[in-house]
Amino acid sequence: MATIEMDGLVKRYGNDTVVDGVDLSVDDGELLVLLGPSGCGKTTTLRMVAGLEQITDGELRFDGVVVNHEPPDRRSVGMVFQNYALYPHMTVRGNLSFGLQSRRPRGSRRSARAEERDLVQEIARLLELEHVLDHRPKELSGGQRQRVALGRALVRRPQVFLLDEPLSNLDANLRERMRMELSRLHEQLPITTIYVTHDQSEALTLADRIVVMHEGRVRQVASPREIYDAPAEAFIAEFIGSPGMNLWTLPWIEKDRDDITLGDEIRLPRRPDPAIHRDGQPITLGIRPEHLEIAGEPDHTSIGLSCRVELVEDLGSHVLVHGTLGSHDGQRVVAKLDAASVVDRGARLRLRAAPERVHAFDALSGSRLGTFAGSARVAVTA
Ligand X SMILES: Nc1ncnc2c1ncn2[C@@H]1O[C@H](COP(=O)(O)OP(=O)(O)OP(=O)(O)O)[C@@H](O)[C@H]1O
Q: Which stretch binds Mg ion (CB under 5 A): 38-46, 297-305, 309-317, 319-327?
A: 38-46
From 18, 22, 35, 43, residue interacting with Mg ion (rule: CB under 5 A): 43
Q: Which stretch binds Mg ion (CB under 5 A): 1-9, 19-27, 36-44, 95-103?
A: 36-44
> From CA 323, how far away is CA 329, in angstroms rounded?
12
From 1, 15, 38, 83, residue interacting with ligand X (rule: CB under 6 A): 38
40 counts as binding ligand X under rule CB under 6 A: yes
Q: Phi, psi (5° rounding) for residue 138?
A: -70, -15
Taking the CA of residue 87 as centre, how many other CA atoms within 13 Å lie in the half-sphere pointing to its CB? 12
Instruction: State the nearest-atom distance from the C-beta of 255 to ligand X, in Å.
Output: 42
Closer residue to ligand X (CB): 199 or 310: 199
219 counts as binding ligand X under rule CB under 6 A: no
Closer residue to ligand X (CB): 16 or 279: 16
18 counts as binding ligand X under rule CB under 6 A: yes
The CA–CA distances, whole Å, from 362 to 278, 286, 312 equal 8, 11, 31
* Contact letters for ligand X, residues 179-208 (x by CB under 6 A): -------------------x----------
Whether the CA torsion 140, 141, 144, 149 is positive or negative: it is positive
Instruction: State the nearest-atom distance from the C-beta of 352 to Mg ion, in Å.
Output: 40
Instruction: State the nearest-atom distance from the C-beta of 35 to ligand X, in Å.
Output: 10
Residue type, 121: Q
- Region of residue 52 (phi > 0: left; psi between -120 and 50: alpha; otherwise: beta): alpha
197 counts as binding Mg ion under rule CB under 5 A: no
Question: Which strands sit side by side in the sheet containing 16-26, from one edge to the other?
Answer: 16-26, 4-13, 57-62, 65-66
Q: Which stretch binds Mg ion (CB under 5 A): 42-50, 97-105, 129-137, 176-184?
A: 42-50
Instruction: State the nearest-atom distance from the C-beta of 216 to ligand X, in Å.
Output: 7
> From CA 58, how far away is CA 119, in angstroms rounded?
37
Bridge partners (DSSP) listed for residue 192: 160
CB burial class (10 A; 0-12, 13-18, 19+) of residue 20? middle
- Contacts with ligand X by CB under 6 A lie at 13, 16, 18, 36, 38-44, 198
- Contacts with Mg ion by CB under 5 A lie at 43
